[in-house]
A and B are shown apart, each in its own frame.
Chain A
């Protein structure tokens, strides 16, 4: 990373809190000038990240005291929009406007025509609409930190007047943490599966001892902590996280809880996989990974039992295992403040994410159908419909997500961030292809992707989500790439296989499709070629 920090106040202490990243600060109070000036440090060709962390009260200027209009705020919005348009390959991070609680209008503020609260809302609405047009712009809500910990602890009047430093050391640490998590979220590198224990985790007590109605799960008292905890967990499924149960129990007892305990928020169909038995949990987790076709490095495991947690940390170090709070009342806050942002942060939640659990369940139905037929009649029975779009700049979040997460059916495993893909989309020499899939069991959304270098007739990236493997849809993506190269006048196309620990599945992908190996590199990389000139082939 090469970052530049712009502000209208002294933010030097943040640079220390963001180490070891290499970020330099622009000149003092150069926020607006740097965004406007194409020769500023922030506009430099090698700069990858621009952090625009302004102080909200200061940006309001005299308008914060009811004098004049907030002209600097308006200028900032305009300049930010322009900068993001000119620098699509830089990631620009900025905070939402979060004015301090010092309001000149006092009680009159909500209703007054010059209400600061109303201006803040209108400014942020416009900032959000700019962000919707620029996938390279990342908004963070630092106001949440002020709400959580309070202005009295995070603002410092003494440092403000001594050196134009607005915040205390605690705020700089919190902001640095939020920026780190924000960048992770923007890169869409979130974990995919939350594994859950049951007794004393999703409810209080042991169901085998207290019975399905005796466990602590209720409208009041301690049982409410667990009910709210379940609500928090369920909200995660709406962001694309899959849930799975790994519990040492009698399955019949747990089924009875699902069937008869009216206080359960989570239902059986909220879980993409369920393992309730007395076998070691690591074995069950390995099985779930296989069932869902996902790597265990995308798993997070929650269990109240420290012995079980230690066992998973030891035998499956790639699984994230957070500590569990000692008190039931801490569960909801712990989950929302520590677990969700640390492991499951996403900047954009797409259509594919919302229906994820449903998709995995549809897959189980397809597997049952597949058991009855041979491959071709099964595929005919599915009623597959595919649509391929090229260079759709609005779907780069999903595209980036796929390059980050797809491991098995991925020929080259090149990871791209949104800004990288924006460059491909803009370039006339590249095509970014996205494949949407549906069949009679459901709409899977975008499941396949290719990046074609049209100048070199080369497949830079070819990948498919594991959910649709074995349904021959990858050939449609390959055909489209070949068509594009052919229409550019190319007579051959080059494919590439880069072996990784996980993509054995596609080792012979090109061999099976009439490609010829032309180079085998010492690092295992193989380059292939295929003649795509129809006329020549017929003539020859």
Chain B
């Protein structure tokens, strides 16, 4: 019981870290984004900005993304799942 609640906290943390990063790169406020926001429903998040977000993601979290990651991780939730 205790363990699973820690995982939930951990997930929320990752979501909020990614939200912060994406909002910062797009130049919009964090309130405009939710865990399910994605390239499909955030107008500023176009394919050019997506590259910028992915580059910043690698730099911030110290991970190397794969080509598939870049193509598929187009929402806050999907990006958060890649945070180590």
For B59, list chain A residues within 8 Å (CB): 168-170
For A16, list chain B residues within 8 Å (CB): 52
Task: Report which of B48, B52, B67 forms a contact with A158, defined as CB distance below 8 A.
Answer: B67
Contact A158 B55 (CB under 8 A): no
Contact A161 B58 (CB under 8 A): no
Chain B residues touching A, range? 10 to 19
Question: How far does the alpha carbon of A169 sit from the alpha carbon of B21 in the complex, in Å?
Answer: 14
Task: Report which of A157, A162, A170 forms a contact with B51, defined as CB distance below 8 A.
Answer: A162
Asked, given contacts A158-B65, A159-B70, whether A169 binds B58 with beta carbons under 8 Å apart, the answer is yes
Q: Footprint of A on B, CB under 8 Å?
A: 47-48, 51-52, 54-56, 58-59, 64-67, 69-71
A24 adjacent to chain B (CB < 8 Å): no
Contact B70 A158 (CB under 8 A): yes
Task: Report which of B51, B58, B64 forms a contact with A12, defined as CB distance below 8 A.
Answer: B51
Nearest CB in chain B to that of A164: its residue: B51
A380 adjacent to chain B (CB < 8 Å): no
Nearest CB in chain B to that of A167: its residue: B55
Chain A residues touching B, range? 10 to 19
A165 adjacent to chain B (CB < 8 Å): yes
A156 adjacent to chain B (CB < 8 Å): yes
Q: Footprint of B on A, CB under 8 Å?
A: 10, 12-13, 16, 156-159, 161-163, 165, 168-170, 172
For B54, list chain A residues within 8 Å (CB): 159
For A12, list chain B residues within 8 Å (CB): 48, 51-52
Question: How far does the alpha carbon of A169 sit from the alpha carbon of B54 in the complex, in Å?
Answer: 9
Nearest CB in chain A to that of B57: its residue: A169
Q: Chain A nearest CB: distance from B32 CB in Å?
A: 20
Contact B51 A158 (CB under 8 A): no
Contact A13 B64 (CB under 8 A): no
A-B pairs, 4 with minimum CB distance: A169-B59, A169-B55, A158-B67, A162-B70
Contact A158 B69 (CB under 8 A): yes
Question: How far does the alpha carbon of A12 sit from the alpha carbon of B47 in the complex, in Å?
Answer: 12
Question: How far does the alpha carbon of A69 sit from the alpha carbon of B66 in the complex, in Å?
Answer: 33
